[in-house]
Structure 1
C-alpha cells in the first residue's frame, strides 16, 4: 500500500444527507454517486441501511451503479444492523461495513449506561461479526475526540486484532483543537500494537469551525483516510469539506502526501450537490464559493493582473472554474447546453436534454445570461413531474392602493380545481387560494428566498418548510417570478405530506 496516499471517504450521501431538507431520492443518489466516482473518491458511504427501506434500497442501487469506489454501509454495533448492511451491499464490487460504538465516558455512562470493559467487548464482538460478512470492516469510535487517549488506544488495538481494516477516530462534536486532535492521532500511532495493519481515519465536524484544520492535523500525524463531504454539508455545522482537503494537499506539495482526486471536477460536483440538496453555497466558501476567485480590492486586482500568483495560491482551472467558459444565451444550441451540463456532472438522455432545452429557451428569453445554477435547476425540474398535486395556472396581482389577489388552477391526480383569494401580498394570496382547495391544516415554519445572481431578471430560489400535524416537510421552487417560485415550493411541500 502507498504510505503517502490519503484515501478520500465521501459521506455526502450519509452524514451529509442528515441535514434537514437535504434528503435525496434514489435516482438523485445514483447521479451523485457516479459523479463522486468520476471525481476519484476511494470510498462512498452510501447510507445507513437499517434506518429505513429507502436507505436500504439506495445502498443496493448505488452498489450496482458504480464500479471502482468501495461502497460502505453504516451500522451500529448490533448484529441485525450488520446483517442488514451486508445484505444491502450484496451487489457492491468492493464492499465495506462501517460499524462502531461510542467510547467517551459521556457516551458510555449516559447513552449506553454501561462501563468501559463492556463497551470494549461489544466493539470487538461487532467487528468479528461484521468480518464474517465482508472482508473490509471499518470501526468508528464515536466521540473519540472526547475519549481518554489511553482507553481509546485499548479499543483501537482490540478492534484491529479482531479484524478491522480501517479505524475511524471521529471528533463527533467538533470539540477538539487541531493540536489536541493531531496529538490524539500521534498517540495512537505510537502506542497501538499492530497499528500498521489498519488505516487510521479522520472524521471531523465543524461545530467550532475547525473541521478542516483538525483533519489536516490528523493527516500530518499519520491518518491516511479522511472522511469528508462535498461543500462540507452535514448535520449541525457540517463536516470537513472534501474540496478544502483536496486542494490543501494539491497546493502544499511539500507535505509529501497525495490523493487520487481529480480536482478539476470539484466545481461541477459542488454545484450539483448544492442543486440536488437545495442548499446554497455561501459566496465566501473556500474553493467553491462564487467569491473564492473574485478580487475587488484595487491593490489585489492590480497584483493579479500582473501575476495571478500574487494573490491566488490556486489556479481556478484546477478546481474546474473555467474563466473562459461558454456563456449561455437564447442563441445557444443543444451542443452548448449539453457541454455545460456535462461539465457540471449531469448527463441526460436525448429526450431529457430536449425537454431541458425547451425550458432553457423560455428562461433565456427572460434573462440575458444563463448561469450554472440556472441550468442545474432546469435539469432537476422534472422531479415535479411525478407530483400528484400540480399547478396548471396562476395569476396574481398587487400594487399600491390595491388589495393583493390571486387565482389558481390546480390538478390533483387528474381532477381540476380553481380558487381565488386575497392576502397580505401576492404570495400570501396565492397560498390562501391553494388552502381553499387543499382543506387540511398546514403551517409554514420557514420561508427563504435567495437570488442566484444579481439583477432584476434573476432566477430566484425559494426554500420552504411546512408542518402538518406531526409531519415536517421541505419544499423547493425556482423561477424568475418570486410568486411562482414560492407557490412551486409550497406545492412541493404539499406533495411530500403523507395522508
Structure 2
C-alpha cells in the first residue's frame, strides 16, 4: 500500500501563544516561523489578526519572510474578521484564511444564542466571503468533539459546496476518547458528499492527556492534516505535540504515513520556542525533555550500555540530541559507574571498581546526582589518586578521551 502523506499544520504562534504569561513580539514570531519552515511544516498559523495590532503585524511580517510554506490567519465567521485576515496575508505567497464557528449545542445555545440553521448559514457566508481574498479557505467547526455527527456532516457538506478546501474537526475541550474521535472522522469520511475534495484536519487539545492519541486515531480514520504545536503548548493543558505525532508516524512504518518534517531539528526549535515563550519544557516531556534520553536506574543503565535499543526506541540523533545520558544516582549500578569513569578517562579494574562503588553509594545517598568532579573526589577517598591532577596507581590507567 502506498504511504499517505500527513500535512503538519503548526499553530504554535496562534493557539500556542494563547497561554497566560506567553507573549511573543513580531520579531520573535518571525524567527520561530523561519525555523518552522526549515523544519518542514506545511502550514504556519501565524496569528489572529483582528485580535490586536501586534497580531496583525506579526501575520504580515511572517508573510513577507516565508517562501515555501502556507501562511494562515485565523478569523471568526464574521466579515470584519475575515477582511482583516485577508489584508494581513496580502504578502503571503501561499495564503490561507482559517475561519469558523462553534457547532456544538452548548456553543450554539449559550455562546451564540442561535439556531442550527443560522449557524449553517453563517458558516456558508463566511467561507464565500473568505474566498474573495484567498483560494485556500479552511473551515473550523469549533467543539466538533461534542457536536452531533449528523449536524456536523450537514455543516461540512455545505461549506464544501461554498469552496472550503480544508475542514478542521477540533476536539476543543479535549474530552473525546481516541476511538470516539476516530469514529467521528470515519463517519464524516463515509457520509459527507464531496468530502474527498477537501483535506480533513485534526485539532486536539490535551485536557485529558489524549490530544496526540486523538490526532493519531483521526489520521488512521482518514484525516490528512494534524494541527499541533512545538512542545505541545497551547490553551489550558495544551495541544497535540508536533514532535510526538511526527515521531509516532516515523517510528511506526506499518501505519503507512509519512511527513515532510526534518526531525533532526526538533531539539533546536524546541529550545527556541521555550526561550521566547517562557514556557519551560517539562523534564519528562516526550522527545524533547531533558530526561527523554537519560537513564538513572541501574538495570536500565546496564541495558543501554550493552545495547541502546534495550531501553530506547528512538535514536536520540533522529531528534537532534547528540547522545543519551547515563545519570549517576543511588540507583546506579557498577556498570554505569565504570562507564562514566571511562568517559572521563579512568579505566577501573574489578578490585578498584568494587572499592570505589562502596564509596560512591555513600555519596549518592546524600546527593541527587553525582558529577564528574564527585567521581574524582571518590577516587581520592579510595586512595587511588592523590589529587585530581596526579598520576594514577598501577591499578588504573588514564587516557585522554
TM-score, normalized by the shorter chain, greater than 0.5: yes
Q: Deviations over 1:182-230 (max 9, x none)?
A: 0000000000111110000000000011000100010100001000000
Q: Deviations over 1:7-55 (max 9, x none)?
A: 0000000000011111111110000000000000000000000111110
The alpha-carbon distance between structure 1 residues 160 and 265, as it changes in their structure 2 partners (threshold 3 A), is same
The alpha-carbon distance between structure 1 residues 454 and 71, as it changes in their structure 2 partners (threshold 3 A), is farther
Match of 1:13 in 2: 13
Match of 1:278 in 2: 278
Match of 1:297 in 2: 297
CA distance in 1, matches of 2:296, 2:161: 56
The alpha-carbon distance between structure 1 residues 185 and 454, as it changes in their structure 2 partners (threshold 3 A), is farther
Where 1:16 maps in the other structure, the secondary structure is coil
Equivalences, count? 327
The higher radius of gyration belongs to 2
1:454 positional shift: 10
1:271 positional shift: 0.5
Match of 2:125 in 1: 125
Is 1:249 aligned to 2:246, yes or no? no
Match of 2:172 in 1: 172
Match of 2:204 in 1: 204
CA distance in 2, matches of 1:176, 1:128: 31
Unmatched 5+ residue regions in structure 2?
A: 326-368, 372-401
Match of 2:74 in 1: 74
Match of 1:140 in 2: 140
CA distance in 2, matches of 1:7, 1:86: 23
1:300 positional shift: 1.2
Q: Is the 8 A contact 2:316 2:324 kept in 1?
A: no
Q: Deviations over 1:162-194 (max 9, x none)?
A: 100000000000010101000000000000111
Match of 2:38 in 1: 38
1:76 positional shift: 0.3
CA distance in 1, matches of 2:279, 2:300: 30
CA distance in 1, matches of 2:115, 2:283: 46
Q: Deviations over 1:81-139 (max 9, x none)?
A: 00100000000000000000000000000001011011011101100110111000000
Q: Deviations over 1:284-307 (max 9, x none)?
A: 000000000111122211211221
Q: Is the 8 A contact 2:75 2:81 kept in 1?
A: yes
Within a 5 Å distance, the mapping from 1:338-487 to structure 2 comes to: none
1:323 positional shift: 2.2
Where 1:201 maps in the other structure, the secondary structure is strand
Match of 2:223 in 1: 223
CA distance in 1, matches of 2:119, 2:276: 39
Match of 1:150 in 2: 150
Q: Is the 8 A contact 2:3 2:258 kept in 1?
A: no
Where 2:82 maps in the other structure, the secondary structure is helix
CA distance in 1, matches of 2:61, 2:185: 35
1:3 positional shift: 7.3
CA distance in 2, matches of 1:31, 1:10: 14
CA distance in 1, matches of 2:71, 2:7: 14
CA distance in 2, matches of 1:51, 1:172: 19
Where 1:202 maps in the other structure, the secondary structure is strand
Within a 5 Å distance, the mapping from 1:99-118 to structure 2 comes to: 99-118=99-118
CA distance in 2, matches of 1:181, 1:63: 33
